[in-house]
Amino acid sequence: MPASKLYAFDTADWDYEYSSMVRGEQPGETYASPCPCYLVDHPEGTVLVDTGVDPAMVADPENYGNYGAPQAADHAAAIETNAGRRASALLTEVGYSPEDVDVVVLTHLHLDHAGDVKSFADAEIVVQQAELEYAWWPADPFQRDLYLEGDFGVLRSPEFDVTPVEGRYDVFGDGAIECVPTPGHTAGHQSVKVDLENEGTVVLGGDVAFLETAYEADRQPSFAWDTETAIATTRRLRNDAQRWDADVFLSHDRDHLDALPEPPAHLD
């Protein structure tokens, strides 16, 4: 049973160094990267894919969460957002509330994808087990700056219903919304395959690559958890997308977000 609607929201603009997004290209230049989340309406329930940036972190990283996040201060300084762009607030613009969300799928737990998960205590949270494990103690110093306890610390609370998955996961058991492991950017990164009534199949690729040029040419960022795994993943996803006749939408490619309808319009 296909999904009926897919909305795309932009929670923040991150002025990112281009050569960090596409390794070795355009050093010294920056790119105005979006930080989207996506709402998918399905006959069995409503699914939110990622939760974007928390404006509270951007406003005051030093005091964010239980322990503060001073390590994210440089990132916060490059991010533009406000309270109205919080994922939970954006949903209300198209007639949904956080309580209407049945499932939150997190592609991974970096600060620009898991920022507002705390607003969805009524939802089932689906995340790869490998991502949960790595997020609490990442070995790479750059990765440590992107994982914030103030974002995902609530997932250890009994108030949150967390489903740690290993491998592919069919959200409603009918193949319409499926989590597809795409590791490399992080240890437990996953993308989300969505079958829509009229549009057909789309893949919400998350950070499998930052930009289309990186996706097509295997130009992974230098801080990827595992570059070889990331390259193998993009090659596999390109093949899968061709087999599924699917369009792949990368989270941080501005052209990809602009190709999706601006709310309240949606894909169907």
| Domain assignment of residue 265, yes or no | no
Domain count, the chain: 1
Residue with tokens 């549009």: 199
pLDDT in tens, the chain (268 residues): 898 999 999 999 999 888 777 887 777 788 999 999 999 999 999 999 999 999 999 999 999 999 999 999 999 999 999 999 999 999 999 999 999 999 999 999 999 999 999 999 999 999 999 999 999 999 888 899 999 999 999 999 999 999 999 999 999 999 999 999 999 999 999 999 999 999 999 999 999 999 999 999 999 988 899 999 999 999 999 999 999 999 999 999 999 999 999 999 999 9
Does residue 159 form part of some domain? yes
Residue 264 lies in a domain: no
Domain assignment present for residue 266? The answer is no
Domain interval for residue 223: 5-258
Domain membership of residue 37 (yes or no) is yes
Report phi then psi at 225, rounded to 5: -55, -45
Q: Which pairing describes strands 45-49 and 103-105: parallel, antiparallel, or unpaired?
A: parallel
Q: What is the dihedral of CA 106, 107, 112, 117, to 10 degrees?
A: 0
Give the number of C-alpha atoms closer than 13 A to the C-alpha of residue 27, restricted to the C-beta side. Answer: 3
Among 15, 149, 146, smallest CA distance to 73 is for: 146
User: Is residue 268 assigned to a domain?
Assistant: no
64 occurs within a structural domain:
yes
Angle at the Cα of 116 (from 49 to 176), degrees rounded to 5? Answer: 15
Is residue 267 included in any domain, yes or no? no
State both tokens at 90.
């954006």
CATH number for the domain harbouring residue 109: 3.60.15.10
What per-residue confidence (pLDDT) applies to 25? 76
What's the N-to-C CA distance of the chain in angstroms?
13
Query: Do strands 5-17 and 79-80 pair parallel, antiparallel, or not at all (unpaired)?
Result: antiparallel
Helix (H) / strand (E) element for 250: namely: strand 247-250
